[in-house]
Structures are given as structure tokens and as C-alpha cells.
Structure 1
Amino acid sequence: MHPQARRFCLFTLFASLISTTGYVYLIAPTWPFSRLHLLTSSSSESSTHGNSAYATFLGPPTSKSAFEESTNASSASDPLRDPYFISVRLLNYQFNHAERTKTKLLNVPFLVLVLPEVLSLQTEVLEAEGATIVRIEPLDVPDAFDRDFITNSRFRDVLSKLRLWQLTDWGKILYLDADSFLVQNLDGIFTDPDLSSSMKTLPSNETDEDDSDVHPPEVYLMAASSDTYGDQTEWERPGHINYLCACFMLIAPSLALFDHYVSVLDSAKALENAAYPEQDLLIYVHRIEGRMPWKRIPIEWSANDGEMNDELEGGVKSLHVKGWAGAEGGNIASEKYRGVRDRLVEEMSDYYGSRLR
């Protein structure tokens, strides 16, 4: 090839690359933000940790008040203003993008388990911003439960969280309820040997036989925070009962364990009138005196009371509190931590807005 022709081809190729790069950053805001993040992040600051994942669950609203994110009546008809959706979006931002809290581990996604009734508008926004959507089917409420109570409560769909144990593409999953937000990075939980090591299922005995026809696996992982209410300092005192909270769990997916859970739900020993279906099941299966006792995740990883962040040296790493106006149920954030969540939501909006300008 003539030298001038070769130079012209090289110049054309270089110009094409520059043009493509400009398109990615300036003209294509519909690209998932996770891709933009990967293009701009420094791999030297990251490390690999197997096939772990963070996860949460998003179902359809279970009551009118779930939409009352503000006193503005128009929010009730706008699914993008549903406070649980905003909270899931905030968790995704914090795990994938926010400098203070984003994961430094390679190939550790943020999974959002969604039921078929969740609007595509919501899942499309979450996917565009880097979340990994995992579509799941609901689990039926067992006959032994008070179906009228469960199906008309805000806990109508929570049994579906058991689908976490079917996600065997991942070795470990840290699950947080959607009404949570991060204060610090959580990566260390995957490497803490006291929390993340597998546990051996104990042999059955006459006083604690298998509760179902499906035997549990030989090894499992169930680490969880304590469900707490009121003055949290009480929960740190010796002798206080530890009450497994399904709001913050480090688990190892296992089809055998999933089948065991479902079998217990359908067995003669099924729980009756469980107010919190998935949590009451897990409390029973992983009771301390049973074959698969749970281990407690210390309160510095997750607390249900924002004020605990001021009690502990170094603070807590995440808060399981509802930080929006009109929230129903327990673990309502104080005014101070509603303000903290509001500032994080504003920070998230500024982050995404700056990438569309």
C-alpha cells in the first residue's frame, strides 16, 4: 500500500475510535450505567472474591400507604416515586456507584429479585442504572398459615425471598431488605471468616428429628442480624434473646436447602399463623437447638435504629430503617436519619443527572 494511503487509513481508524468513544460518553445515556462505571473505574483498586453477590427483593405495592412517599398526592400514581422502588434504586446506586459505599470486589453484582407484577418501567430504570434483575415466581402461602391475614398484609409476598436459595450461580449472597441504606462499604462481610464460613449440619436425634421428608444439606450458611426494636443498647447486653432477622442475611444458595424449607412449610409441623412468613420459617429451621443453628451478624453491620449509629464506635455500616414520610410498620427512621436518607437520594439524583447532561 502506498505510504500516503496507509497514513490515511490509520487516520480514519483513529478518528472512528474517537467518534465512538464520544458517542458512548456523550450521546448514549441509555447505556446501562454499570457499563459506564466499568469503563471509568480503576481495576487496580478492586479485588476478586469468587462468585458473591449483593441482593434485595422488590414486589408490587401491598397497600396504598406504601406509595405515600410524600404529602404530594400525585406520588400515589407515579410508580417511580414508590418509596420501596426509590430505596432499591438507592441501594443499587450505593453498591455500584457511590464512592463511599460501592463494592471494590470484581464481578460482584447487585441482584434485585422481582415478582411478575413489578412494573417494567421500574425494572428498566434499575437495569439501566446497573442492577441485575432476577425475575422470580411467588411462593404460595401454606394452608397452615392465616391466609386472610397474610394476603392482606404488607408481608403478602415475602415468602418469595426464599428464592434466594435457588440462585446457585452465586456461592454467597448478602441480602438486605429494600427499606435499608448503606452508611459504609460492606465488602468485608464476604471475607470475615467468623461470618462467611460454611457450617456443618448437625446429626438428627430423638428430640430433634427432621421436620420433613427432604433432608437438609450437609453444609449450609445462615448468618443474620438480630431483629431489634426500641432501645437497641438493650440488645447488646448479655443474656438478651437473639431473634433472627430476615432483613440482613449472608447465605449460601442451595437447592437442597430450598427444597427443605418448602418441605417444612408443607409438613405436619408447619408453622401456624406466622405473622412474618419467611422470617418465622427461618427462625424455626435455624433455631439454636436445631440441626442448623444460625449465627448472629454483629450489630455494627446492620441496625434497625439509626440512633445506634451514634452509640457504636465507628458507627454502623448499614441501617434497616424506613426513611420516608408516611412509612408503615416498624423500624421507622428518626427525623435525623430521614434527613440522612433524603440527602443520599438527592446525591443519587445528582449523580445520574450529571451523566445525562
Structure 2
Amino acid sequence: MNNSRGGRRSCRSLYLGIAVVTFFLLFVYTPLPQNYDDQRDALVNHVTSAATGHKSSANASLPSLATTKSKYAYATFLAGDAHQQELADINDDNYFVAARILTYQILHAPETRSPAGIPFIVLVTKAVSEPKRHRLRLDGAIVIEAETITKPTWVEVETSTWQDVFDKLRLWELTQFDLITFLDGDTVLARPLDGVFNDTAVATRKTSPDIPRPHPGLLPPMPRTYAFASRPEMNTIHTYPPSEETHSYPNIAYLNAGFFVLKPSLDLLAYYLALLQLPDSFVPTLPEQNLLNEVHNWAGAMPWQTLGTEWNIHYPTKEDLDGGVASLHEKWWAPGDGEGLGGYLRGWRWRMEGFYQGREGGGKGHQ
């Protein structure tokens, strides 16, 4: 009897030991979850690469439209330039660096990244070089080449960098997304932007059936529903928060196309492109911005909606940053208020480059 009980105890001890060892082996060899802090992931990749002599696996699977399941996206636009293609170092192109800063901020930086993991798209023109596209993919962006929208001869632009701005309209083709938040490349974040997708201004609205359509017989039908929201253009001297009472806006009904939220729609894209072919249908001095203001004017059938003042400021100042605005529409390399924002904006460039160099093993050879 005692021998039998002792045997059963021995078996239970053996089974318990086997269970402990099995649990330990599963813990050691099961891959870690993917939602750890990105800086910790970068450190793990860097240490592993140095220890084994192998390249980081971060480059094995680059992001694409086919792999994202998100119903929302962020996007910016990067045009090519003949002069910039001749640069010995692609990181001497300020607009390209700006796109990298946005990629880093939206996808990686703890203070500004998307809590929901919303993807970031860089829409590029045909002239953007492959080294730049590849670098942006390594950074984590989804790079899409926009099919060229030929600028009609009646549209004349004063700035060479605006020659391809109508290609931005290709964002309306990305109908796998419910909403896209567009940011001009010369934008720097101060905090996460995900809340903009919950702003009441981005709700889908019905196109008014009662307002007469412009250019009857010359344009295709407007879509039955749409969503388009933006911020009014700012005066360079303004308050935060901006208001009409403090004369912060030259015209509160005139939107700035450097920050907007859109619902992709092939019907709306067709309407834009048809209007573009009508000579003098809008004032072309600010090409795509004035086209959008024409289609979505407040007296029309598809008026644009006003986003909250907290999401974006054009011509920002240190007071705007201190006031809590989420994004600053300003060139990181040439801030309009001089050194008021200069240190803050330039600091993001060095943080971005340091992050990727650390993740990929250091040095400038990561281009």
C-alpha cells in the first residue's frame, strides 16, 4: 500500500517537472508580441544583428497597401525635382527629409505616433528617385507612385515645386480607406493626430440636391455623399486659439489645402478632373487649393467642413505650440518665426536620423 502511494507521488512529481520544463521552453522560444515600444524593438534588433553578424529582419517585409487592414490612413505628397536628383546625398533634399520626419513621428516617436497604428502613405511623383522611395519604405511608409495628372495649359503656376500638385488628387482613388488625413510635407507634429478621425467635421454628408450645379452639362454628376474637412487659411499674425474676433483669418470660408481629411471617392475624383479641364473654372494661382475651394465652397452643394482649431496651424508660432496645437504647418529648415520654433523643428530631424541609424546599425551608409 505504501509503495503504491509513493509511486503515485513520484509520478505526480515527474509530471509536474515535465510541465514546468515545457512552460519554460515555450516562454523562451515563443516570439515576443509585436506591440512593444518601438525603441525597445530597435534595440533588440540592433543587439541581435551585432551579435549574430546578420542584418536586421526589419527590412524583410516592407509595408504596402495590400498588407494594411486599417480603415484610416495618413498621407503626404512628395514631388520630384531635376535639381534634387543631382544631390550627392538624398538627405540634402529638405522636402524628402520632411517626409522622413513625418514618417518617424506618425509611426515611431513615442510622443506623436498613432496609438491605433494607422498607416502612413507617401504619394510620390514619377520623378522621385528609387533611392528615396526605398529609404521611405525602410522607414515604414507605404510609398505609392501617383499617376500623373497633366496640368492643362490654361493653368499657370508661379512656383516650380507646384507643377505636379494636382497629382495629390490621386488620394481620392484609395477607396479601401474610409478616411485619409492629408498633411503637407512641411508639417511637424507636436502630439498624436488620431483624434482627428473622430472630429464631427469628418462625418459623411449628403450632397445637397437643391443647389444648382455649376457649368450645367459640362461636368459629371456630383457624388451623392462626400466627406471633406479642413482648416481655414491663417494670417501670419494670429492668436491661439485663432478666431475671427482676433482677426486670425483673412477669410474664414477659404480652406488651406495643407491639412485636410477626405473620404476617397472615384466619382468625386472624376468631378475634380472634369473641372480642371474647363478653362477659367477657378483661379489657378494656388492650383489644387483653389480647385478644392471652388468645388467645396460654402455656397455650393458639397461645402467643406471646419476641423477643430487644435489639429493644425499654418504659419505657426511658439505660442501655438505652447497652446497645444497638434501639428505645425511649417518648414523644419526655415521656420517663419525664426528661432521661436527653430530648435523644436530641427530637433526632430536629428531625432529621426538617430532613431533609424540606431535601428539599422549606425553610420550614414543606410541610405
2:190 aligned partner? 183
2:302 aligned partner? 292
Aligned counterpart for 1:260 among listed residues 252, 262, 271 = 271
Say whether 1:145 aligns with 2:171.
no
Please say if residues 180 and 321 of structure 1, whose CA atoms lie closer than 8 Å, have aligned partners that are also in contact. Answer: yes
Say whether 1:110 aligns with 2:116.
no
Query: Could you tell me the TM-score, scaled by structure 1's length?
Result: 0.78
Equivalents in 2 of 1:25, 1:52: separation in Å?
34
1:324 aligned partner? 333
2:225 aligned partner? 219
Please say if residues 81 and 127 of structure 2, whose CA atoms lie closer than 8 Å, have aligned partners that are also in contact. Answer: no
Superposed CA deviations along residues 126-159 of structure 1, whole A, max 9, x for unmatched, are 101110111112211123212xx45x62211111
**C-alpha spacing 1:91/1:316, structure 2 compared with 1 (3 Å):** same
Please say if residues 188 and 332 of structure 2, whose CA atoms lie closer than 8 Å, have aligned partners that are also in contact. Answer: no
Equivalents in 1 of 2:330, 2:46: separation in Å?
37
Equivalents in 2 of 1:214, 1:222: separation in Å?
19
Superposed CA deviations along residues 19-43 of structure 1, whole A, max 9, x for unmatched, are 999879622236249989xxxxxxx
Please say if residues 186 and 331 of structure 2, whose CA atoms lie closer than 8 Å, have aligned partners that are also in contact. Answer: yes
Please say if residues 170 and 253 of structure 1, whose CA atoms lie closer than 8 Å, have aligned partners that are also in contact. Answer: yes
Aligned counterpart for 1:157 among listed residues 154, 164, 173 = 164
The structure number with the bigger radius of gyration is 2
Equivalents in 1 of 2:321, 2:90: separation in Å?
37
Aligned counterpart for 2:98 among listed residues 65, 74, 87 = 87
User: In structure 1, the residue corresponding to 2:99 is in which secondary structure?
Assistant: helix
**C-alpha spacing 1:266/1:315, structure 2 compared with 1 (3 Å):** same
1:295, distance to aligned residue in structure 2 (A): 1.1
User: In structure 2, the residue corresponding to 1:174 is in which secondary structure?
Assistant: strand
Superposed CA deviations along residues 49-79 of structure 1, whole A, max 9, x for unmatched, are 95100000011137x5x79xxxxxxx95422
Please say if residues 52 and 171 of structure 1, whose CA atoms lie closer than 8 Å, have aligned partners that are also in contact. Answer: yes
Gaps of 5+ in 1: 1-9, 37-47, 68-74, 326-330
1:312, distance to aligned residue in structure 2 (A): 7.6
Give the % identical residues: 31
Report the number of matched residues.
317
Please say if residues 87 and 180 of structure 1, whose CA atoms lie closer than 8 Å, have aligned partners that are also in contact. Answer: yes
Say whether 1:202 aligns with 2:208.
yes
Say whether 1:61 aligns with 2:81.
yes
Say whether 1:99 aligns with 2:116.
no
CA-atom RMSD in angstroms = 3.5
Q: How does 1:36-47 map to 2 (within 5 A)?
A: none
Gaps of 5+ in 2: 1-21, 33-40, 50-54, 362-367
1:283 aligned partner? 293
